[in-house]
Structure 1
Amino acid sequence: MSVIAVLALDGVPGHELTGPGMCFGTAARHHPHVAYEVRYCTAPGFRGTGSPAPFAIDTPWSLEGLADADTVLLPGHAGFRDEPEPAVADVLRAAADRGCRIGAIGTGTFALAATGLLDGRRAATGRPYAAELARRHPLIDVDPEGSVVDADPFHSAAGALGGLDLCLHLITLDHGTPVAIETERQVFMQLHAPADAEKDTGPAAPPAVTRHSLGPTLRWLEAHLDHPLTLSDIADHAGLTVRGLNRRFRAETGLSPLQYLLRARVQAAQRLLERGDEPVERIAVRTGFGTPANLRHHFQHHTGTGPRVYRTAFRSMVAALTWADGKRAEAAEREGPVSADGRRT
């Protein structure tokens, strides 16, 4: 089991504190072979999260909880412009010395930068604070867009949606792209689930499959979703009997071949709904469901919502994040640049 230690400094934004638990917890819940322990550790002086809705947390872990962690996550906090407490800087340096992976969310990059660990490396923070981070720490190559930056063993990104993009990046490194994609969709559905709707998310997603004998067949299957594939077709491609194919699929994916095919078709429909404007009728054909009614039936069973609702909710989320990020950047520009001592100039 991989231990993820989230270090909470006083005034941490609530969503940056809860985001990692949601993301890593969802990955483990929907993928039987994925195991994460998310451990919340408070730093000296921690009283609670920041505004607009501050709350306290009760955890048995303080800084010692980082000692055996595989990954340390450092969210932002209210006093991010201040030098971190010596004990915090020491525990971060100790984690780096033993080869621990360290991720910084949003303004959490400032605390990590203050340790000197990011000198000579590339890093990211929230877009409104990128220029300030670059001025304060000229030895760091700051990504102005807040994109996920991988400077192994240090990883950083903006804090949008609690740093879920960074968490998904780490899940990709641990378990591959298929697990990360499915985790992203499941988190998205949790964020936008109607309050009065009962959800049936269907069977757990299959494990990521990358290095085994079924790999070529799985890639072939996913490239031919629009074909009326049968068990015999899949078995012929794999060079197996139908009985052997079923046994192999169960052993390596946890699903039967037709269950895997159905899951792949639903995931392909999700991608098309997210990234394009094709009508549902066309998506049903492209993904092998044939008719809109068939697509709606299986899509509802596996995601808990209909295709059109899914598309609308996804677009609304993207628009809201883009709008909020733009407003923060505009506000930062109006207030003017920040000097190295934290004052507006």
Structure 2
Amino acid sequence: MSVPSVAVVAINHFSPFHFSVPCIIFGDVLPGKKLFNLKICAGEPGTLRSRQGFSIETSIGLEALEEADIVIVPYWRDPAERPNQELLDALVAAYNRGALVVGLCLGTYVLAYAGLLDQRRAGTHWEFEQDFVARYPNVQLDTNALYVEDDRLVTSAGTAAGLDCCLYLVHRVHGRAIANKVARRMVIPPHREGGQAQFIEQPVPLSTRDANVNRLLEYLRNNLDKVHSLDDLADYSLMSRRTFTRHFQKATGMSVGAWLMSERLQRSQELLETTSHSIEAIAEFVGFQSAATLRQHFRSKFNVTPTEWRKTFQSDSPGRYQGHSPRL
């Protein structure tokens, strides 16, 4: 098997972290074993400098994309700025001749500007979801996936998801065993469960412009463990059921059931992160009928189990590996 060639596109105002991820993984990450031929190419003329003062010098231009097996755009500086046409044309040409074209984080925008993602699935950083959807309504944005592949077009979520995506590409080309070796050497998991949903901030509004609804929200937060019917809550608010549901929807933008579910899941996250209570106890504290019900709704919302969430966000000894050191 010939060694695949990888072209990483450098731009001005590049992000040092995003740029370094493919350079590390597709460089000489395993001593004595050449996995890829890495080339750094200038995606635009002029000085290539990060906002932090790092600079890149390369004699290779976009001609590297003409022969690369994998082309990676690790970042883009401004979603509102259209990349230069020469870069966009080079990406389209690389894809048309059979290359794998990759956009990490906001690099997804560059692929979208090139028209490569029309009618295809893609991923990008969750903070830019609304902006991306507004700009590219013909792209099927997956707002949860850490990375997405659709017909040789691979895109990833933000920042550290670039690591997940690049390890996926190593797995895709060289298989699981090699990808696992690369992950061990970098001291990162070869595969992370779940997706962006576990990292997206989705706070339930603490208050509204309706004072009566605000008093009710405070009451509900203090009594999440109880069963709340619409009739009981309407009586508590001194309204008819119909008037109450209309006021609640107008004030919060959510139905009572949806608000309670969001609040209970958010509270369960906090308890999983900050306490040692069992899943059964947490389910009772936040008002789920059973641990099984909590697990069902938690996985449906965040694509991970409560136990997996706790392992991710709770650690008694940060940085300490409980077990044998991985072999390098």
Q: Fold conserved (TM > 0.5)?
A: yes
CA drift at 1:275: 7.9
Q: Please point out which of 2, 6, 14 is paired with 1:12.
A: 14
How far apart, CA to CA, are the structure 2 residues paired with 1:93 and 1:5?
A: 14
CA drift at 1:77: 2.3
Alignment-derived partner of residue 181 in structure 1:
180
Could you tell me whether the CA contact under 8 Å between 2:9 and 2:72 is conserved in 1? yes
Counterpart secondary structure, 2:58: coil
Alignment-derived partner of residue 78 in structure 2:
79
Given the superposition, is the C-alpha separation of residues 172 and 135 from structure 1 closer, same or farther in structure 2, using an over 3 Å criterion?
same
CA drift at 1:150: 1.0
Counterpart code for 2:105 = G
CA drift at 1:167: 0.7
Counterpart secondary structure, 1:160: coil
Could you tell me whether the CA contact under 8 Å between 1:26 and 1:187 is conserved in 2? no
Alignment-derived partner of residue 41 in structure 1:
41
CA drift at 1:110: 0.5
Alignment-derived partner of residue 210 in structure 2:
none
Alignment-derived partner of residue 220 in structure 1:
none
Given the superposition, is the C-alpha separation of residues 40 and 162 from structure 1 closer, same or farther in structure 2, using an over 3 Å criterion?
farther
Alignment-derived partner of residue 24 in structure 2:
22
Identity among equivalent positions (%) equals 27
Could you tell me whether the CA contact under 8 Å between 2:104 and 2:124 is conserved in 1? yes
Give structure 1 stretches of 5+ with no counterpart: 190-273, 278-291, 304-345
Counterpart code for 1:141 = Q
Residues 94-119 of structure 1: CA deviation (Å, up to 9, x unaligned): 10110110010010111110111110
Instruction: Using structure 1 for the length normalisation, give the TM-score.
Output: 0.53
Report 1:112-131 matches (<5 A).
Answer: 112-131=111-130
Could you tell me whether the CA contact under 8 Å between 1:48 and 1:54 is conserved in 2? no
Could you tell me whether the CA contact under 8 Å between 2:48 and 2:57 is conserved in 1? no
Alignment-derived partner of residue 144 in structure 2:
145
How far apart, CA to CA, are the structure 2 residues paired with 1:75 and 1:178?
A: 25
How far apart, CA to CA, are the structure 2 residues paired with 1:13 and 1:143?
A: 23
CA drift at 1:180: 1.3
Counterpart secondary structure, 1:102: strand
How far apart, CA to CA, are the structure 1 residues paired with 2:10 and 2:313?
A: 39
Residues 262-302 of structure 1: CA deviation (Å, up to 9, x unaligned): xxxxxxxxxxxx8899xxxxxxxxxxxxxx9xx75xx37x3
The alignment yields a C-alpha RMSD, in angstroms, of 2.9
How far apart, CA to CA, are the structure 1 residues paired with 2:150 and 2:181?
A: 25
CA drift at 1:123: 0.3
Higher helix residue share:
1
Could you tell me whether the CA contact under 8 Å between 2:21 and 2:163 is conserved in 1? yes
Counterpart secondary structure, 1:135: helix
How far apart, CA to CA, are the structure 2 residues paired with 1:187 and 1:59?
A: 26
Residues 185-244 of structure 1: CA deviation (Å, up to 9, x unaligned): 21127xxxxxxxxxxxxxxxxxxxxxxxxxxxxxxxxxxxxxxxxxxxxxxxxxxxxxxx
Alignment-derived partner of residue 165 in structure 2:
166
How far apart, CA to CA, are the structure 2 residues paired with 1:145 and 1:46?
A: 36
**Count, aligned residues:** 201
Structure 1 segments (4+ residues) deviating >4 Å:
274-277
How far apart, CA to CA, are the structure 2 residues paired with 1:117 and 1:131?
A: 20
Could you tell me whether the CA contact under 8 Å between 1:127 and 1:146 is conserved in 2? no
Could you tell me whether the CA contact under 8 Å between 1:8 and 1:43 is conserved in 2? yes
Given the superposition, is the C-alpha separation of residues 126 and 276 from structure 1 closer, same or farther in structure 2, using an over 3 Å criterion?
closer
Instruction: Using structure 2 for the length normalisation, give the TM-score.
Output: 0.55
Could you tell me whether the CA contact under 8 Å between 1:42 and 1:62 is conserved in 2? yes
How far apart, CA to CA, are the structure 1 residues paired with 2:44 and 2:136?
A: 25
Larger RCO (CA under 8 A, 6+ residues apart): 1
Residues 10-48 of structure 1: CA deviation (Å, up to 9, x unaligned): 212111111111112355437x3x521111101223523
Counterpart code for 1:88 = L
Alignment-derived partner of residue 260 in structure 2:
none
Alignment-derived partner of residue 58 in structure 2:
59
Could you tell me whether the CA contact under 8 Å between 2:69 and 2:99 is conserved in 1? yes
Alignment-derived partner of residue 210 in structure 1:
none
Alignment-derived partner of residue 262 in structure 1:
none
CA drift at 1:54: 2.7
Give structure 2 stretches of 5+ with no counterpart: 189-310, 315-321
Report 1:297-312 matches (<5 A).
Answer: 299=325, 302=327
Could you tell me whether the CA contact under 8 Å between 1:19 and 1:162 is conserved in 2? no
Could you tell me whether the CA contact under 8 Å between 1:26 and 1:183 is conserved in 2? no
Given the superposition, is the C-alpha separation of residues 80 and 46 from structure 1 closer, same or farther in structure 2, using an over 3 Å criterion?
farther
Could you tell me whether the CA contact under 8 Å between 2:121 and 2:142 is conserved in 1? yes
